[in-house]
Amino acid sequence: MGQPEWYRNAKSYWANVSPTINGMLGGFAVVDPVDVKGSLQFVDEFVYGVHGANNVLLKAPVIERSYACDCGAGIGRVTKNFLRKVPFDCVDLVEQDPKFVDQAKTSYLADEIKRGTVGQVICAGLQDFTPEKGKYDLIWCQWVLGHLTDDDLVAFFKRCVEGLKPNGLIGVKENNSSTDYVVDEEDSSVTRPNEALKRIFERAGLELVKEQAQQGLPAGLFTVRMYMLTRATS
């Protein structure tokens, strides 16, 4: 399948998905609380540091909590249930489907937008998105990167690095296949094995600082891993 067709087919697939939590999670709305809990625990040390006995600070926080970006945001489930509960002061969203963007703006995140805790809701595919330079403490990408080709994913990560503050981080949460790429022709996505994702991180000039599997998901689903990434130092 050619690259333009690959992206057109993905766009067509999501155009027929309902703008609901169940739609965002492929019929598995039940995983939302488990997913959110795992994500909050994963980022905690980077936001609040690591504390020992008597609340002694053993490791300082890495990032501030000013700005985050939710990439492939859908209607904003990750923004509302995770990023705003960290909490980041303001979260921008990037989503290519106009129906999801409208649902986020007019209903699902309407209150957050009024309060200013949700900023921009950008209608764009990640293959075309360039973040504002030096803006974000955290750019979070969840269950979306399988829609990008390897080369486009490398290019996307390189643009994201430019969108980070000096100590900013990129968080990735994606399904992992066991040994090889698994292609889903229906929604134009690919599930990558763990090592393939790590090679892409390296190609993009990223250093992996933490990796963790999500626990508590229903049996029969792909393994889900979280990765925290920073600019490579050399």
Say whether 77 counts as a known binding-site residue. Answer: yes
Beta bridge partners of 57: 51
For 174-183, the CB contacts below 8 A with 24+ separation are 174/141, 174/142, 174/143, 174/145, 174/146, 174/224, 174/225, 174/227, 175/143, 175/146, 175/221, 175/222, 175/223, 175/224, 176/222, 176/223, 176/224, 176/225, 177/222, 178/223
Say whether 96 counts as a known binding-site residue. Answer: no
Say whether 134 counts as a known binding-site residue. Answer: no
Task: State the Cα–Cα distance between residues 186 and 17, nearest whole angstrom.
Answer: 12
Say whether 72 counts as a known binding-site residue. Answer: yes
Say whether 126 counts as a known binding-site residue. Answer: yes
Binding site listing for S-adenosyl-L-methionine: 72, 77, 126-127, 142
Q: Give the residue numbers of the binding site.
A: 72, 77, 126-127, 142
